[in-house]
Structure 1
Amino acid sequence: MTIILDKSRLVSHINDDELRLTLTKSLDLVESVIKNYEIRHTKFLNPYELKNLISILKRIDTISYHESGGYDKAERKIMYIYPDYFSPEDIKSEISMIKITGNFKYREVGHRDYLGSIMSLGLSRENIGDICINDDGVYVILQETFKDYLIFNMEKIANVRVQKTEYDFADFRYVEPEYTQHSVSVSSLRLDAVLSAAFDISREKSQNLIKNENVKVDYEMIKSSAKAPSPESIISVKGYGRIIFVDEISLTKKNKIRILIKKYRK
């Protein structure tokens, strides 16, 4: 019996247009798996996309799935989808890791520099997994299809010549990103107030960033300035970087709320 997916129904609860499109594309792959008994995989998805996709895949019979980003703490991952008579060990990995090194002694280079340089070669964000900055180099995870293309075409990052080589995942050791802790005071736990204090910008500026869909909390696009982030929420702001809202600490004598945030250095 042929199983027909009602994709519109499966994503009907999703209000975010971009997320709905991503999930619908993933369901196209699921449909192919069911009809043709083949193994398929998505492009790289962030944790919010993965969470929503898994909630849908759980409702579909005759398939199995697993996610992989190359190392245990990976944020961005590929979802492999296949008939349920396969096991994860049967599935060929479709991702590679490239190590990039260069003489950045006189130039501070961060995550955005690496990502921007890679995307300038024509790769889209969904083709690229995590970018891990360690003391001995930068490790880029990407779809295996683009491995050789990146190695042969990337010459510079921030005008610094770089060397590239494929790297074995088994030899990779994850290093937690460096961050600084800051205690700041806010009038409320609203998102716009937190952004204003964390990035030292006006409340109006932070509201405009949210309104223009430049702010994500735990990878979800947030459109309401009134939303209060939960403890340990990851907040990313386009053009400004990423912070972790750790938690509220105490009340000040002027009845303001003192909060603790972490700012990534790179």
Structure 2
Amino acid sequence: MKRQDVMMHYRPQERPFVDRTIDLAERVDERQTPVLTDFLDPRQVKITEAIVRSSSDVKLYLSGGHEQAERQRALLVPSYWVPEAEDFELSFLRITIPGEFVKLKHGDYLGSLVGLGLKRGKIGDLSVHGEGCDLVVTREIADFIRLHLSQVGRAAVQNREISALDYLAPQVEYQEKAFTVMSLRVDAVSAESFGLSRTKVVEPIKSGKLQLNWQVIDDPATAVEEGDVLSLRGHGRAKILEIMGQSRKGRTILKIGKYL
């Protein structure tokens, strides 16, 4: 299949990633050497899986450090290659707040890491728990974080490397909700998902506050699909679990999961 034919199956904002991933698969096939990516979000994982399936000489392996990892590194290898856990080059860290009780959120930890100049692709899942936060990162940045991350928000923190077995995986929970919409436009689905009027959700979308599958979109008319994840700044995150068909009045029935 020609590259331009593949591109037609993806949204415009996804096509640069698709193009790069095709290049990686072709490199592995031509040079017969493995390629390791940064952490990919779930949508990027699905795209990578689809592209690699079209090549009989390239295989794909994924790891995010734990079984239910949301963000994972992709290892593209020649078909005869059998990777080991070390090939994914993962490190595990635990951030703790000594001496005082301060409740920090996922965004506090991620914001402090990005504030150090780290790219999001170098950081895997963050798991906030009673002791602080565990995170999975690429091995190349682990020492940098240990040396330079001393504050999260207003709290002084400490961090240390832990083993993969000690990593406390995040517990993902969400509340299911079913509703109907006139169309699968992102503004209509977002309004129902986050309990807003359609008029009040359009402006945040146009100002870049909505992410669809971890990418900012600014067109309220963008269509959504089953499995998509929506994130609206200040209102949380929701996943489209199922498109359940049409109501008697011709509206589309959706079931979503609102992350708790």
Which bin holds the TM-score, normalised by the shorter protein? 0.7 to 0.9
1:68 aligns to what?
A: 63
* Native 8 Å contact 1:66 1:81 kept in 2: yes
How far, CA to CA, are the matches of 2:256 and 2:59 in structure 1?
39
Moved more, 185-194 or 106-115: 185-194
1:116 aligns to what?
A: 111
1:147 aligns to what?
A: 142
Total equivalences in the alignment: 252
**Aligned pairs (5 A) from 1:154-233:** 154-177=149-172, 181=175, 191-193=186-188, 195-196=190-191, 199=194, 201-212=196-207, 214-217=209-212, 219=214, 223-225=219-221, 230=226
TM-score, normalization by structure 1 = 0.77
How far, CA to CA, are the matches of 2:183 and 2:99 in structure 1?
39
State whether structure 2 residue 128 is matched by structure 1 residue 137: no
The aligned amino acid for 1:34 is D
1:40 aligns to what?
A: 35
SS at match of 1:176: coil
1:128 to partner: Cα distance: 1.2
The structure-2 alpha-carbon separation of the partners of 1:91 and 1:84, relative to structure 1 and needing over 3 Å to count, comes to farther
CA displacement, residues 23-57 of structure 1 (integer Å, 9 cap, x when unaligned) = 22223322332232212111111111111121111
Structure 1 unmatched ranges of 5 or more: 249-257
State whether structure 2 residue 87 is matched by structure 1 residue 87: no
How far, CA to CA, are the matches of 1:110 and 1:104 in structure 2?
18
**Aligned pairs (5 A) from 1:251-262:** none
How far, CA to CA, are the matches of 2:135 and 2:176 in structure 1?
29
The structure-2 alpha-carbon separation of the partners of 1:138 and 1:35, relative to structure 1 and needing over 3 Å to count, comes to same
* Native 8 Å contact 1:100 1:138 kept in 2: yes
SS at match of 1:142: strand
The RMSD of aligned alpha carbons is 3.6
1:24 aligns to what?
A: 19
The aligned amino acid for 2:41 is N
CA displacement, residues 195-226 of structure 1 (integer Å, 9 cap, x when unaligned) = 44554544222123334554345557664458
State whether structure 2 residue 120 is matched by structure 1 residue 125: yes
2:47 aligns to what?
A: 52
The structure-2 alpha-carbon separation of the partners of 1:133 and 1:104, relative to structure 1 and needing over 3 Å to count, comes to farther
Identity of aligned residues (%): 26
TM-score, normalization by structure 2 = 0.78
The structure-2 alpha-carbon separation of the partners of 1:158 and 1:85, relative to structure 1 and needing over 3 Å to count, comes to same
CA displacement, residues 51-80 of structure 1 (integer Å, 9 cap, x when unaligned) = 112111111132222111110111111110
How far, CA to CA, are the matches of 2:242 and 2:31 in structure 1?
49
